[in-house]
Structure 1
Amino acid sequence: MTSVLIPAVLGGLGLIFGSFVAAVSVRLPREMDVVAQRSRCMGCEATLRPWELVPVFSWLALRGRCARCDARISPRYPLIELGAAALGAWAGLAAPDLATAIATAALGWQLLLISLVDGEHFWLPDALTWPLAASGVLAAGLLHGWSGAGWSLFSLAVGFGVLRGVAWLYRRVRGRDGLGGGDPFLFAGAGAWVGWIGLPSVLLWACAAGLSVVFAQLMVRRRVSGSDRLPFGVFLAIGIWLTWLYGPLGL
C-alpha cells in the first residue's frame, strides 16, 4: 500500500504545484507579482473564482473557455499541471524512501518551471536558479547531514566555476557569447543536487538532448546554422533530473 500511496500523494500535490508553476511561468517574464496577485482571466481581467482554479478539472469543466467572456484558455495550463503530477508520481516511484521522494519531487517541479521560462523566453532568472542551488544544499543536509551539505556547497562552486570558465573560453575563441548568463548559475544548482561527480553526466545528458533537437530539425528539413539559439537551460534541466534519479553515468 505504501508503495502506491507515496506516488499517488506526490502526484496529487504535483497538480497543485503545477498550477503554481504555470502561473509563475506566465507572470515572472511579465514582471507581475507571483505570490500576492490573484489569478485573472487574460481576456476580460475578471478575478477567477475558487472553483475555476481547480487544477485540470476546471479547464475541462469550462471546456477551455472563460466562464464570463468566453475567451480561450490555453491548454498549456492543464498540460503543465499534468506534467507536474507525472513528475511527482515519478519521484514517488523512483525514490527509496519518503524523504528522498519529497526532495526528488521538489527538484522536478523546480526544473519544470526553469525549463518553461528558459524554453519560452531564453531566460534563466536568478529568482529561479538561486533557489534551486539553495534547495540542493538543504536537501543534502537533510538527507546526509552536515557533511552532505558541505559537499553540496563545494560541488555548487565547482559547477559554477566550470560553466563560467567554458563561457569565458568560448567568448575568447569565437568572439561572441555561447552561453547565457544564467547557465553557470543553473549548473551551480546542478552541482548542489547531484554533486561534483555527477556534473559530467549532467553535461552529457544535456548535450545528447540538444543534439536530438538539432537532428529532429534536420529530419524535417529545417535549416540549422551556428547562429541558431537553443535554450540550453532546458537541456541542463533534463540532465540534472536524470542524473539525480539514476546516478552518474558509468558509476
Structure 2
Amino acid sequence: MTAPISSAYAAHAPVVLAFSPVAFAALLAVVGAVVGSFVALVSVRLPAGRPIVLARSACPGCGAVLGPIELVPLLSFAVQRGRCRRCGTAIGWRDPAVEVAAAVIGAVTALAVADPRLAVAVAVLGWALLLLALLDAEHFWLPSSVTLPLVAAGLGVTAWLAPDDLPGHVIGAAAGYLSLAGVAAAYQMIRGRAGLGGGDAKLFAASGAWLGWAALPIVLLAAALSGLVVALLLWRRGITATTRLPFGVFLAVATWIVALAGPG
C-alpha cells in the first residue's frame, strides 16, 4: 500500500500506545461490535428508504420498541437466545454476524497496524467497506451517499497522516473512478448491457483515495481473482455468463486487505 502508510508517513514519529496492543485490540473489537450493530441497521434501512437515526429499533414480530438493554451488541442476542423476550419471534443470525465481523475488523486492524491513529482510520475504512459489501451482496447497490464520503475520508486521512502523498491519492481517486467507468462504458457498448455499475467505479475511487494510485492494480487483481474463484465455485449451481455477481464485495475485501498490508 502506498498510503496512508507510505514513505512519507513512515518518516513521521510513531505514536506509542499508553496500553498494550492486546488491550487496544480488545478496545477496537468492542467499538467494532457497536459499530457493527449500526452497520446492520443502516444496511436494512437505507435500501428501504427508512429513517436511520430518528426511528427506534423494534421487534419485527410484535413491533415493540427495543430498550437499551436489548440493543447491547452480541450480549443481548445471547441472553435472549436469539428471540424477542416479548413475543418469542426469532431475531435471526444476520445482525450478530455483522457485529462479529465488525469486531473482528477492529481487532485485526489494531494488531496489524502499529500506529494507533492509522489503526483507527483503517478500522473505520473496514467498517464502511463492510456496509458497502452488505449493500452490494444483498441489493447490488453501492450508494453514492456512502462511497463519495469514503473518497473524501481517504483524502482527508492522507492529508492528515501523510500530506506529501496527497497528490498520489488524488490521482488514485481519479484513476480508480475513470478506469472502471471506462470498462463499464466499453462493456455496455460492446455487449449492449450493463456489466459494471457506477457504484463500483466510485468504490474503486475510494480505494485510490485511501491507498494511492500504485495500489490500484493490486486491489483490482485481488478482487478479480477472488470473484473468479467464487464464480467457479458457483458454476455447478447453474450460473451463466449473464448471472450478476456483486463485484463491490470483492473490491471492498481487497481494499481492506491491502490497507492492512502496510508499506511495500
TM range (shorter): over 0.9
* DSSP-derived class of the 2:84 partner: coil
TM-score, normalization by structure 1: 0.94
Partner residue in 1 for 2:260:
245
1:247 offset after TM fit, Å?
5.2
Out of 230, 234, 245, the residue aligned to residue 245 of structure 2 is 230
Partner SS state of residue 182, structure 1: helix
How far the C-alpha of 1:174 sits from its partner, in A, is 1.2
Matched, 1:90 2:108: yes
Q: RCO higher in 1 or 2 (8 Å CA, sep ≥ 6)?
A: 2
Q: Within 5 A, what are the aligned runs for 1:120-135? A: 120-135=138-153
2:20 and 2:165 map into 1 onto residues whose CA distance is 27
Identity of aligned residues (%): 48
Pairing of 1:1-251 with structure 2 (within 5 A): 2-145=20-163, 147-218=164-235, 221-246=236-261, 251=264
Shifted more, 168-177 versus 24-33: the winner is 168-177
Length-normalised TM-score, structure 2: 0.90
Does the CA-based 8 Å contact 1:38-1:47 persist in structure 2?
yes
- The 2-side partners of 1:115 and 1:139 are apart by 22
Aligned residues between the structures: 246
Q: Deviations over 1:66-109 (max 9, x none)?
A: 11121110111111101100000010011021111101100110
Specify the code of the residue in structure 1 equivalent to 2:71: L
Offset at 1:201? 0.7
What code does the residue aligned with 1:214 have? A
Query: CA RMSD of the aligned region, Å?
Result: 1.3
Q: CA deviation at 1:215?
A: 1.7
d(CA) in 1 for partners of 2:166 and 2:217?
Answer: 20
What do the CA deviations read for 1:124-164 (whole angstroms, capped 9, x no partner)? 1111111211111111112112x333332221111111111
Q: Which runs of 5+ in 2 are unaligned?
A: 1-18
Tell me, yes or no, if the aligned pair for 2:31 and 2:103 is still in contact at 8 Å.
Answer: yes
